[in-house]
Amino acid sequence: MGRLTDARIGVLMGGRSSEREISLKTGQAVYQALIRRGYDAVAIDVTDRLHRDLEDHKVAIAFLSLHGPGGEDGTIQGFLETLGIPYTGSGVRTSAVGMHKSATKTILAAHGIPLPAGTVVPECDRPSLAKVLRQAKLTLPIVVKPVSQGSTIGVSIVRRAGQWKEALDLAHRYDSEAMVESYIPGHEATVSILGTAAEGPKVLPAIEIVAPDGFYDFSAKYQKGRTRYLCPAPFPPKMVHHIGELARRAYEVLGCEGAVRVDFRITPRGRPYVLEINTVPGMTETSLLPMAAAQAGIPYDDLVEQILKSALDRASRFARVVPKG
């Protein structure tokens, strides 16, 4: 199969978020895949020189490998749109909503998608644990996390009252708002969705995540051997289908494009809850999207090309709205 485009592709990676190192690994893996397929690609570490770097390298298409704030939250997407450079993945609105866990929950809840009960605590408020539990109708244990972060950064499980203040402080270290949710016991799972304009969203095989101590934190995600990944997930077929359809609905409701990953907790009785959606999933050697794609018969380089299609779809839309003069 020939190349999808002859245009120069800038793989944007790094940035300033707390997920910088993971982003660099994702970006390098994507860049190498594009080079293997014969694309005219350049790797760009995003700094305050980005505008100049894009011009100097004559980048025509951006492949986004940025994680966290500044990369997944709509800001880089909006910047590229003002320059008329098409990019991979979801657009400005979807990226902004997807990064903000509270906004995501509001929209998904309005469409009947099951979510953990919870509330948001702003940094200016220092409520007691008793007050939060009472007002949000929660009981211990609870999960406390920044509203706008990824890779389980700043996340704590509060099992006793003495852990509350430290958990809240940690979440607020990364965001001015902290999400407080009921802890859902049971299984951890994720479902990746891969979409193109021509074919629509495709549900990839579900993965069960078996983390040490039952907590899939940053080190469990990125240190080899700490976590077991069961792909395809050994759930009953009915459950696999159910969470796949919930992931697809979340993808469509939020208006996602390209590849996304939807994370779940499933109770021992088999009730799934959507935790969050990742609009720029990791593409490192331990990442879950490539694992699910491989299980579906999509090799890594093919996966990169399919994600690239989302930028080409966007390029065709950009061309339609540019006035002819």
The separation between CA 7 and the C-alpha centre of its own chain, rounded to angstroms, equals 27
Looking at 208, 276, 305, 313, which residue is catalytic? Answer: 276
- Helix-strand-coil percent breakdown of the chain, rounded to 5? 40, 20, 40
For 87, which DSSP code? B
263 flagged as catalytic: yes
Which one is catalytic: 39, 222, 251, 273? 222
Task: Identify the CA nearest to 245 among candidates 237, 306, 199, 183.
Answer: 237
Contact (CB, 8 A) for 19 and 42: no
Strands 61-64 and 9-13 come out as: parallel
- 174 classed as catalytic: no
3-class DSSP state for residue 290? helix
Catalytic hit among 10, 87, 244, 261 = 261
Name the active-site residue from 73, 263, 305, 313.
263
Judge whether 123 counts as a catalytic residue. no
- Annotated catalytic residue, options 148, 282, 300, 305: 282
Is-catalytic flag, 276? yes
- Selected catalytic residue, list 278, 300, 305, 313: 278
The H or E element containing residue 210 is strand 207-210
Is 151 labeled as catalytic in the residue annotation? yes
Please say if 216 is a catalytic residue: no
Written as one string, the DSSP assignment of 14-39 is: --SSTTHHHHHHHHHHHHHHHHHTT-
Q: Is 182 a catalytic residue?
A: no
Catalytic residue chosen out of the listed positions 10, 15, 19, 216: 19
Query: Per the residue annotation, which of 23, 65, 151, 192 is the catalytic one?
Result: 151
Residue 19 annotated in active site: yes
Q: Which residues are catalytic?
A: 19, 151, 222, 261, 263, 276, 278, 282
